[in-house]
Amino acid sequence: MNPETTRGALLKIGDEAQVRGWIAAAMFGPRPAEIKDFVVHLGRLSLHYWRPDFTPEQAKLMFQDFAADMAGVTAGELVDVCREYRQDPLNRFFPTPGKLLELLDHQLTQRRRDKFAAKRLLDIFDGEPEPEKFSSKPLPTAAEILARNGVTKSEPEQG
Residues near 116 by Cβ (< 8 Å), separated by ≥ 6? none
Residue length of the chain: 159
pLDDT in tens, 9-61: 777 777 778 877 878 777 777 889 999 999 999 999 999 998 788 899 999 99
pLDDT in tens, 76-122: 999 999 999 999 999 999 999 999 999 999 999 888 888 888 888 78
User: Which amino acid, residue 91?
Assistant: N
Inter-residue long-range contacts of 99-107, CB under 8 Å, 24+ positions, other chains counted: 100/66, 100/70, 101/69, 101/70, 101/73, 104/73, 104/77, 107/77, 107/80
Residue 2 confidence (pLDDT) above 60? no
